[in-house]
């Protein structure tokens, strides 16, 4: 059972981030008066609002992933399981997350 939990955690964590991005996008679309629907990684709005939604979903992606997600996760694990030793986090690369704002094919 422990092995199954260990191997299930990474994809489940990534799916939770996908869900967080969708929820952040949905909330921001509602604030802008846009209709929004979505399933997993497919987002919908009226055709006349697609450009606005695309801008919002990029902004929310940057907002989400500019946060120290892995650092916060490690800190939470270390607090919850003080007797366990966790491996160090990988170094952050040099990708500028704000490049997503101008990426034509980021989310299509």
Active site residues: 41
Q: What share of the chain is helix, strand, coil (3-state, %, to 5)?
A: 65, 5, 30
What does the alpha-carbon distance between residue 16 and residue 22 come to, in Å, rounded to a whole number? Answer: 10
What does the alpha-carbon distance between residue 101 and residue 58 come to, in Å, rounded to a whole number? Answer: 5
């Amino acid at each position: 059972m422990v092995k199954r939990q260990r191997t299930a955690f990474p994809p489940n964590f990534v799916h939770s981030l996908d869900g967080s991005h969708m929820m952040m996008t949905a909330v921001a679309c509602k604030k802008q008066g846009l209709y929004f629907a979505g399933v997993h990684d497919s987002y919908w709005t009226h055709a006349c609002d697609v450009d606005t939604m695309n801008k919002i979903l990029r902004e929310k992606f940057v907002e989400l992933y500019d946060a120290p997600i892995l650092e916060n996760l490690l800190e939470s694990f270390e607090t919850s399981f003080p007797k366990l030793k966790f491996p160090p986090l990988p170094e952050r690369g040099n990708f500028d997350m704000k490049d997503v704002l101008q990426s034509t094919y980021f989310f299509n």
